[in-house]
Amino acid sequence: MDNVLAAELRKVKKNRMIGIGFLIVCAVPVLFILKSLLIDETLFSYQEWMQGISMFLYMIFPVISGLVITQLIQKEYEEKTVINNLTAPVKRSYFIAAKLIVWAIWYLLTLASTVLITIIGSFLFYDSSIVSQGISLVWTGLVKTGTFSFVAFMPVLWIAVKQRTLFYPAILFTLLFTGLQVAGSQISLEMLPLGSVVPWSAVSILQLIDDGSIYWYVCLASIVISGLLGCLLAIWTFKRQDL
């Protein structure tokens, strides 16, 4: 497993999508900061400022994340390097696990960078006491939601493995999941039961409901199930493929 992971990490250095995706996502808070400095000097409340950044990240981060994992998988099939990797006595599950770890590392580094940039930008426009008190908004709006979103989007890994050299199916599903996640932030009370069992809308709903409520547990369960199914199906599909 260590050798497989080391090989995957070496490939990252040659993968432009990794760097481009990182820069695109980090550009969201940077552009908000530049907009406030150079274009629109109207100072919104800290909560409104955070909500604006969070909303754009909801739409952009999952899409870029889906592009990254799809490209990581698709490139292996397209260049047939996956065959070379499996000529060694390595379990196929290790290959999927290594891809997942690389994806997770990229995601967490990107998420941490956006959080750091957002916090730095906050201190430029708001009093330190307001920012300190509003750290919970950063935690809920970026860190917590971003982590749940990553887990909920695990089925994209399975779709990327299943489609092999094709690129569009995983991207189409990524866009669909992203749309459901954004829709979850606008969920009505009548649609709450249905939205709670849909993993991608559940990511956003978790921000709107109280921790420990019945719907909170339903949302959490649907997200975890989505993540587990995505990983297990990716491994199962890859093991059954004739390469």
- Neighbour-count burial of 124, counting CB atoms closer than 10 A to its CB (0-12 exposed, 13-18 middle, 19+ buried): exposed
Q: If you average pLDDT over every residue of the chain, what do you get?
A: 84
> Residue 111: which pLDDT band, with cuts at 50, 70 and 90?
very high
Report yes or no on 45 lying in a domain: yes
In a domain, 36, yes or no: yes
9 pLDDT higher than 90 = no
Tell me the percentage of the chain whose pLDDT exceeds 70: 86
Choice among 60-74, 89-103, 144-158 with the minimum mean pLDDT: 89-103
- Pairwise pLDDT comparison (9 vs 66), residue with the higher score: 66
Over residues 23-82, the pLDDT tens digits come to 999 998 898 888 877 776 566 677 777 778 888 888 899 999 999 999 888 887 887 776
| Total structural domains within the chain | 1
Residue type, 141: G
pLDDT digits (tens, 9 = 90+) for 128-148: 777 676 676 676 667 888 899
Whether the per-residue pLDDT at 88 is higher than 70: the answer is no
Instruction: Give mean pLDDT, residues 196-221.
Output: 91
In a domain, 164, yes or no: yes
Give the structural domain span for 139. Answer: 2-178
Q: Token pair for residue 24? A: 């695109």
Q: Is 83 a domain residue?
A: yes
Least confident of 77-86, 181-190, 192-201: 77-86
- Going 17 to 164 to 226 to 55, the CA torsion angle's sign is positive
Residue 198 lies in a domain: no
Check if the beta carbon of residue 66 is closer than 8 Å to that of residue 170: yes
| Residue 107 is assigned to a structural domain of this protein | yes
Please indicate, yes or no, if residue 213 is contained in any of the structural domains: no
Answer whether residue 122 is part of any domain: yes
